Structure 1
Amino acid sequence: MMIIHILAGGPEDLLPDLTEYIEEDAIWVGVDRGVFHLISRNITPAIAFGDFDSVTKAELAVIEDKVIKLKKFIPEKDETDMELALNWALKQQPEKILLFGATGGRLDHLLANVQLLIHPLNAKTETEIFLIDRYNIAFLKGPGTHTLRKMKDKKYISFVPLTLDVFGITLDGFKYPLKNRHISLGSTLCISNELISDYGTFSFSEGILLVIRSHD
């Protein structure tokens, strides 16, 4: 099973413990200042992307010395550094892509990174993308029935419509269940729910949901 981990340059205090994600078959990818964060943790990325306008000359020298495949771009480009890295990762056809360092800091970057999660749905691939920081795990789901297991450290579960409408949403095994409800963009009906047993299911017939698992 191929897993690709992408570390962007978001605030370090929001990063989870990356040692928990070090796996034998995992491929690490650095994005802009995230490349230096990886090297500082003795993780050498297989490939790195960025215009590197957020690192010092000394830090860039370290990056250039440590990373064999370094994709440098000018700041004036059509895609963000994260999108360039994600597009590369999707071409490798991994089972999962984990995005770190993609929250906090600039709000426009956060919103852009959340919207990047839609790429596999648009491309109709089976690759799953998870956006992870110290407090949250976020991912997108399309129509169907999906299972969630209880996580002790992230008991709150929110469902946020990412399309104008989400139809037929049903929540089973939750503290606040729903049956065949319609929610619209801007609704807070499905914010901060909890599982009441080890597993629960959510299903819907049309739309896209952003699923966020959090702890305070």
Structure 2
Amino acid sequence: MSQVDATDYSIRFKYGVHTILLFVDSLQSFSAINKSLLEVLRERFPNGLKISPALSDVTPVPTSDDVRIVYGLPNNVNDLSQGWKILRIDDDDKPVSKGLKDNIPVAFAFLADGEELDDAQFLVDVPTLDDEYEDELGKFEYATCALGTQHLWWAVHILDLITVVVAVAYAVVSIMGLGSEKGTAKTPQRNGSAVPATKAKKQPKDGKAANGDAAQVPKNATPRSPEEEKPKKAP
């Protein structure tokens, strides 16, 4: 690829469904620009320029170098659907003197014999948001740049899509992990049985009272025999 000079402008010439990216010298005359544009059109579109994806009509590329080419600047560079205004130039005028800037879109049209400048109509197909994601062969053509602006925008869209997919996957994994932790929380068990919430009170053992104190035995008490322990019958 030839080196691009600092004074070069990348101009996006638009007609129908086509966008032709050309590097032009900002101090180059429009007559020279006309010649370069015609050479590219004849080489790339020998069967003509397609006006709309929905129509089969094409505009033949002029074979004569004497054809009159009219250029138009967008009324709103951020919304090309608002139309174009005619750029009134002479053959010796230069892009820098007519307000052209780097990467600006410029519509063009061919004037037939007998037509005036104000008769020019700029046939530019402005794609909608849905159309931008359709793969239409020949919709964008690049004359001097192997990697054009449109390719870079596609790369940006792909990176955005990857970011969204990763974020959704991370959210799903986080939710599933949280649910798994809740499902595995169980009541502690001992020997196959759940441990009761409160422990039963221990029964008195070895002569101790329920409160843990030893049972009170009267002092000097004489032990009783088993026979005395038996209940006596009433007389």
TM-score over 0.5 for the pair: no
Bigger helix fraction: 2
The interval holding the TM-score normalised by the smaller chain is under 0.3
Bigger strand fraction: 1
> TM (normalized to structure 1)?
0.24
Which has the larger Rg? 2
> TM (normalized to structure 2)?
0.22
